[in-house]
Amino acid sequence: MSQGFTIYPIAHIRTDFKEKFGIPRQSGRVETLGKIVFEPKYRSPEALRGIESFSHLWLIFDFSLAHRDEFSPTVRPPRLGGNTRVGVFASRSPFRPNAMGLSSVRLVAVEHSEQDGDYLVVSGADLLDGTPIYDIKPYLPFTDSHPDAVGGYADEHLDHRLEVVFPEHLLNKLPKDKQKSAIGCLAEDPRPSYQEDDTRIYHMTFAEYEISFTVSGKKLTVTHLS
């Protein structure tokens, strides 16, 4: 019987998410760009040969801020209000026996720089800036896509999105290429599910900016950006 083995990051991803609060809870929900930079050992153009023929990729990564020594067999998914427990293997919680995640992202481009060598630009990443990547595999629609699949309790909350009111004078403080992503992240409702305080001001870090907002019902209003 195998006793396990040691794995090391092959790359790290650079994103606009500097902290956990505000990261979309699933990949592909928001068109957020990420840059996957390989470790020097794996920084070979040969390792990427043929990857541009695929539209999407699987990323196997480290929930680097969720490492725990103890095992909890149940977790509380945010979309169930944070109060209902389900089995850890019936969830995508980062708090797992092995803190490993799986995300499907769209491959935008393979680019090159003198500093980073060949790197990947991807869209739809739901990863913290600096997250270690353990492996990358092509997404194969003929076997990975199951249109008749059932999503369990997650299906009940599939359309949970907020209307975002982002005053133009504040939105224009963001670079044009980041405005759509910021609105998309806010629409995903970054709040903990158990918080319903209409008067509370929340703060989300996105790229180099801090976005402050309130939520009333299904409407999120941005109040400040710095």
Top pLDDT among 210 and 193 is at 210
pLDDT digits (tens, 9 = 90+) for 65-109: 888 888 889 988 776 766 788 999 988 888 889 999 999 999 999
The whole-number pLDDT of residue 75 equals: 86
176 and 133 co-located in one domain: no
Global confidence as pTM? 0.88
Look at residue 67 and give its three-state secondary structure.
coil
58 and 20 co-located in one domain: yes
Q: Which domain holds residue 207?
A: 160-225
What integer is the mean pLDDT of 194-213? 88
* Within a domain: 94: no
Residue 166 sits in a domain whose CATH number is 3.30.2310.20
The whole-number pLDDT of residue 9 equals: 97
pLDDT of 159 strictly over 70: no
pLDDT of 58 strictly over 90: yes
148-157 CB contacts, 8 Å cutoff, 24+ apart: 152/90, 153/77, 153/79, 153/80, 153/86, 154/77, 154/79, 156/79, 157/79, 157/80
Q: Are 166 and 138 in contact (CB under 8 A)?
A: no
pLDDT digits (tens, 9 = 90+) for 32-46: 999 999 999 999 999
Residue 57 sits in a domain whose CATH number is 2.40.30.70
pLDDT of 194 strictly over 70: no
Q: Tell me the C-alpha to C-alpha distance, in Å, between residue 140 and each of 16, 56, 101, 115, 144.
A: 27, 8, 18, 31, 5
pLDDT digits (tens, 9 = 90+) for 116-152: 999 999 999 999 999 999 999 999 999 999 899 898 8
137 and 54 co-located in one domain: yes
* Within a domain: 5: no
Top pLDDT among 5 and 141 is at 141
- Can you tell me the distance from the alpha carbon of 158 to that of 204, in angstroms, rounded to the nearest whole number? 22
16 and 50 co-located in one domain: yes
140 and 169 co-located in one domain: no
* Within a domain: 1: no
- Can you tell me the distance from the alpha carbon of 72 to that of 88, in angstroms, rounded to the nearest whole number? 8
